[in-house]
Structure 1
Amino acid sequence: MHSPLLHMTNTPWLFSLQAIQHIEFSSNTYAKYAWNADDIYSFIVVIQGKGVLEYKDDKTSIDPGSVYIAAGPEDVEFSVRADSGAELALKLYKIDMQNMADKYRRHPEPGENAWEQHDVVNPNVSANVDSDAGPTLSTASIPMVKTFAYVPWSACLEYIEQLYRQQFSSDCYEKWDVQIRFQQWFRDMVRQNDAGLEVHNDRLSLQETVHYIDAHYDQMITVDELASRAGLSRASYTRHFKRSTGQLPLDYVNRVRLERSKQLLQVTADRLHEIASRVGFSNEYYFSRRFKQYTGVSPGVYRRNHRQEVRVFAPYLEDFLLALGIKPIIQGSHRAWGRQRYLQLDDVPEFDVSQLDAGFHAEHTPEFIMLDMGYKTWNLDRLEQVAPVYYVNHDGEDWRTILKATADILGRTNRVQDVIETYEHKVSRARRHLHDRLRKETVAFLRVSASEITLYGDECGYVGPIIYQDLGLRPHPYVQKWTRGKRGVSIGLEQLNQLDADHLLITFDTRNSCDFGEERRLLDRQEWKQLPAVRRGNVYEVDFMSWMNYGVLSHNKKIDDILRFMG
């Protein structure tokens, strides 16, 4: 007994990804999205909300947590309709793939069976096909909709989100990579739903308990009960559950409850103890404590931020606010570095983080404060006495997660997808252009102060993930050798002499300068003048604050600079 997908072709690696669409339905209107089968297999992956997949005289309910495949002859119309009574708007991905065997073999071989009526299954019943026949879409006479599990569900969504972003690349090799990654996702789903594999039984049992949690999160749930439903011992169930989801069972239960509570805080006026009870917490105190652990802010602050414009102070995180359309009430600055001029906040007053006793004027007192891990350096935890503080505990390289967290706590989640997609499109165009322009030429980035020269790496830091990973520029071999696993390393003049990169990007740090221009004295040294990039005029000075920063706006500025200098 094998997965129905294995019976669709004898050469599964010949499936080709055609397109991925991100489709959203308004939560307060009746809407549907329709398409013709046209010899295309279409996967429906529901992100949130509920809906109905309709075809011919039949229909299948669709919910988050499963993958639905729709296929049939050319004259069949499929449509997805949002459930107008659902609390959340329906959001989904529609993934089209083509059986390449069908493309070149439009008719069944002698002795090959076409789909027949017994191949159609009730969408509410687990589907298995016993026949050894190899049905293909070109011989289909009836439509088919089947449901498949994917565990963990979060991994499925991450896979699809990545494929969705990368599909827009016009680079041949990147397109190839997308097809390879799609095949990996497709293979994993087939294997998880192959009843002939013993591991599938455990995964299916786990998936059933995950669905149970999603449906009964507001009730008392114990690990023993979940293990019993899965037919496993408590220890075995816990081990398999964490391996599949990355979380312990009760942590997963609490995550579901807390995500639901965020929705209730946004759309209802219910009191906290009422929300706590509705999502399954025994008391308001425990709910509030878990909520703050999970989101970084209290339920009350979370609700207020979603209900009104909040006066925010986020020193050196203003980039994320502005990307989401939020203007800070006051901006961070430093006596040596100044403010982040690339953000063009000329009319916003400054707060000097380097003054350990700096305070706020009454008219510029924030209602909410965001701090990154640099708060310890500037003694900014004292600001907890001024307003609620959210501490960003993600590494700056993970700017997408920081952006999503900022949007969540400030009520701007509707902006995140557009911001990220716009950036990905820009990266794709720039990468293609620079690949044609630079070929195999090497690049290095230097931060120069009066006291040291810092060479930045290709794996992490402010610049490496952008210029080397996103844009695909080739790092000089010593960039990789000297900085492996580090954001940057200090180098001396002897090492600088070995840095014969074709192109040098450089920025100057004035923090340790006693005299004006002291940080630029390196440019007068013979060691500098002898570098190949200097002799050829391939040295480009960039703005310190925009390059020594994380955030989508600063990263966009980096791309603009590189295209201006090297494109």
Structure 2
Amino acid sequence: MTAYNHTILRMKESSKRSLSVKQTDSWQTSSLMFLTTDGAVRVDMEGIRYELNAKDSVLIRSGIDVMVESLSSEQVVIYTVTFDQFTLAHDAQNELVYKVNHDHLPDNGEVVKGSAVLFSYIKQIQTSQIIQEQAKWLEEIMFIFRKQSKPYNEKVHYSINMILQYMAEHYDQKLTRKDLAHKMGFHESYFSTFFKQSMGMSVTEYIAQIRIDEAKKRLLQTDDQIQIIARQVGYADSLYFSRKFRQKTGRTPSQFRMNRRPERIAAFQFVGLLVAIGIEPVCIDEETDLHSDILKEHLASSLIINEHTPDDVFKSLQLDVIIVPNYYYSKPALIKRLEQIAPVLVLPYAGHHAVQDVLSIGRLLGRENEANDWVKRFEQLSQQARNTLSSFREKGETVAIYEMRGHDKVYMWSYEARGAFYLYETLGLKPPKAILEEVLLPNQHTVIPLERLGEYEADHMFFIVSDQYGWYKQMDKRMEESDVLRQLSAVKNGTFYPVKLEEFRFDEGERALLLMDRFVSQLTQPAYPTIVHM
């Protein structure tokens, strides 16, 4: 037993995973985990990308989705140790009672850089079969983490986003590697290496990719001549543009333009937009399907696919177009493969109002009338929803939307995710002061430990949890175990509403209307002092 708050650490499992060049592995943590590596890897979790080198170690909380990719030119070994922390809960005569407690631990994703000692300890615990030895090694590992770990420096993560944003806004201008490196504060040679590691292609290849993708949109939405479109996307020479276009897509610009009203569409996301303009996609990817419970009746006939679906299956579907989100730019090999099956359209992942996005995709896919009809429907139903909530707004009660990840992290979303814009702006509902000032006004998502949730509580709380790993079904149990949740006024008053991430993750197009209907339905039901599931 350590002297730290009467704490016991107990190992549950250790594992050793080998990754070949560019190979990936993914899992969800069931308990606390230490992870270390003998080579360069990229770890993606909770929307943050961590670059780890040999002998770097990271602590990962429970309930976290983790994806690890090898960045080395040779085989890499990943060592993980799964464990639990127990603290003394009851000290009576002849009886000590301990309970699982993850308080006072380093934060998820905190890293110890380049510690050969820590790397050695995590490897040694792999070979120990004696519980007392395992506990000793865990205490040593935890001691080092408490003393040496630091929050992961997210500068790299945000730097690549800043670079991509700048390139998206200036792709039609002359962009050189040297100028981009200077603007972003990088040495030119490092910038090239960093960019290729992050995106899987060179700066020059990326610029060409986004220019061609912007040209595709202009070819479908306008009657502009090819040479005009070439200049609009940054090519002074229209013949060079046409050669580049064919090299990237396998088609000339004129051939691409011929399919202005595609019928058979594969969607890697964006199904809410397609449904809004009357399209049921021929196929959707697994990730989109997982988070489309709210649209099930609209997708009943859609085939479920993934990145590994064989080409002959794709080709048998006789697709007119494939739609992918712009974060697929980090998967250039996949985009190249899909281009050989059908024309690929790359759309922005998020950040726009549903009306704007529906009008945009309506123009892109030759369905402007359908898009205009949907916008009228959106305006009509939005007004009806506001009218229904008029007496609610007069009471001045606050409403907010939150998301629980793992055991102890709460996300509060700004306007660009999880239906937040439609809750606060379209329906005109009042957020708590703390969320208004720290999340909505600066328009930035905010993450807090669960223990601070009371500082941001609303009179009515929509609380998103994942159903995929059983969190939604276990919500009642979590309430029983969490003093923080039980003490919330919304819980006591019956105005705490657990909702599924699988229904709330995306809010584009038709989803926005369905989410608003959920908001209105819940807020107008009688409140009971119990947990209410939507």
Instruction: Give the TM-score category using the shorter length.
Output: 0.3 to 0.5
Which of structures 1 and 2 has the bigger CA Rg?
1
